[in-house]
Amino acid sequence: MDEVISSLNIKENGIYVDLTLGRAGHSIEILKKIKEYNSGMLICLDKDKQAITESEPKLKAISNSFVLIKSDFRYISDELKKLNIKKVDGILADLGVSSPQLDQIERGFSYSKNSKLDMRMDLDSNLSAWEIINNWDEEKIRWILYNYGDVKFSSEIAKSIIKNRPVNSSFELNEIIKNTLPAWYLRQKNPSKPIFQAIRIAVNDELNALDDLLKQIPELLNKDGSLAIITFHSKEDFRVKRFFQELNYTDPKLNRLPIQTNKKWRQKIFFPSKKELELNNRSRSAKLRVITKLE
């Protein structure tokens, strides 16, 4: 939290966007800063209707200088155009699943609690984990397991899923996974975690949405504006890291010339502090990457 608020460098008359509202933890602190100046605006997006409903009264208790939008963050430019906003001063995206989503058994995100296979962040979406597990073909399932979760034995697991249909609950899927994998591998780690993660990424099209978002960032930020992204998964982090590197790319030939090349972007990375880990164990795999537009 402290690193996010500091990195956004909230200023007078600034416009800030929280692309992943969740239960408004970050948005509340951003809005408090905006209220101090008595100017500026906060725009909050989330594709989970429940997040919007639960967060609105919390934000209203602080200030009315905010707008709530139910939308996937891949449509940020279109949503800002509806508000006649072309550029903003700060953008935050806290990727992955929010704690309330994980803790609600009926949402089906957890492999450690028995529930219907769902995993939809947007409950208005038609595609659920049940649909993928029970209706997608073997090659498609193998592909998402391998490419989204680096799942070992992805072919064998996909084959077992097809063979054991219908699969209706998380524990049924766990059982199929355990019965498919060799005993020596099961002793090393819980194999369900990367498998459930890969299916969740496919259900919500998370990596493609992230790619769509990143393409829009250079045109959306004002000078001295920052993008702060919290990642939890290596696939997410790789995309963000590569995007940051490409923004600051200079021709290697220029590096050999006796001229100074001015960087257009400044980058910084934060890892969870010891205090953060004590307060929130789920932050252990998190990275906060921040880029600031210099010109």
- Check: CB of residue 217 under 8 Å from CB of residue 293: no
Tokens 């932050």, residue?
283
d(CA 185, CA 263): 47
Is 26 marked within a binding site?
yes
- Check: CB of residue 144 under 8 Å from CB of residue 207: no
Is 46 marked within a binding site?
yes
Beta strands 15-18; 287-293: pairing state: unpaired
Is 61 marked within a binding site?
no
Is 72 marked within a binding site?
no
Is 212 marked within a binding site?
no
**DSSP for residue 137:** -
Is 73 marked within a binding site?
yes
- Who contacts 220 (Cβ-Cβ below 8 Å, separation ≥6)? 76, 77, 80, 87, 88, 91
d(CA 205, CA 189): 26
Is 18 marked within a binding site?
no
* Residue 291, CA distances (Å) to 90, 94, 241, 255, 283 in order: 10, 15, 10, 22, 20
Task: Break the chain down into helix, strand, coil percent, rounded to 5.
Answer: 50, 15, 30
d(CA 204, CA 148): 12
- Check: CB of residue 145 under 8 Å from CB of residue 139: no
- Give the annotated binding-site residues for S-adenosyl-L-methionine: 24-26, 46, 73, 94, 101
- Give the annotated binding-site residues: 24-26, 46, 73, 94, 101
